[in-house]
Amino acid sequence: MKYQFKNKVKVFRKWDGSNWLVSLQYQEAPGMDKFATGVFYSEDFASVKHMLQTAIAELHFAIFMNVDEL
């Protein structure tokens, strides 16, 4: 399952049988997926919501600081 945010942060969510696998990716420009991000595991998706908010904030900070990798 993929979610697209207006700020070009893509969120991918997948159930692996025991945990939610959630990853974020930032597309700096069309065709430039420089900011592949962390992966988060949780047994219930409700707790993933908070992790996503934190990760998106950290991702935006990294982009602001011009960091290529998190």
pLDDT per residue as tens digits for the range 26-39: 655 566 555 444 55
- Whole-number Å distance between alpha carbons of 30 and 52: 23
Domain that holds residue 10: 2-64
Instruction: Domain count for the chain, please give it.
Output: 1
Q: Please give the residue that has the higher pLDDT: either 28 or 49.
A: 49
Euclidean distance between the first and final Cα of the chain, in Å? 23
Residue from 10, 34, 4, 40 nearest 24 by CA: 10
Whether residue 69 is contained in a domain is answered as: no
Say what the pLDDT of residue 67 is: 43
Within 10 angstroms of residue 47's Cβ, the number of other Cβ atoms is 11
Give the pTM: 0.36
Q: Using CA atoms in the order 59, 60, 61, 62, what is the torsion angle rounded to 10 degrees?
A: 50
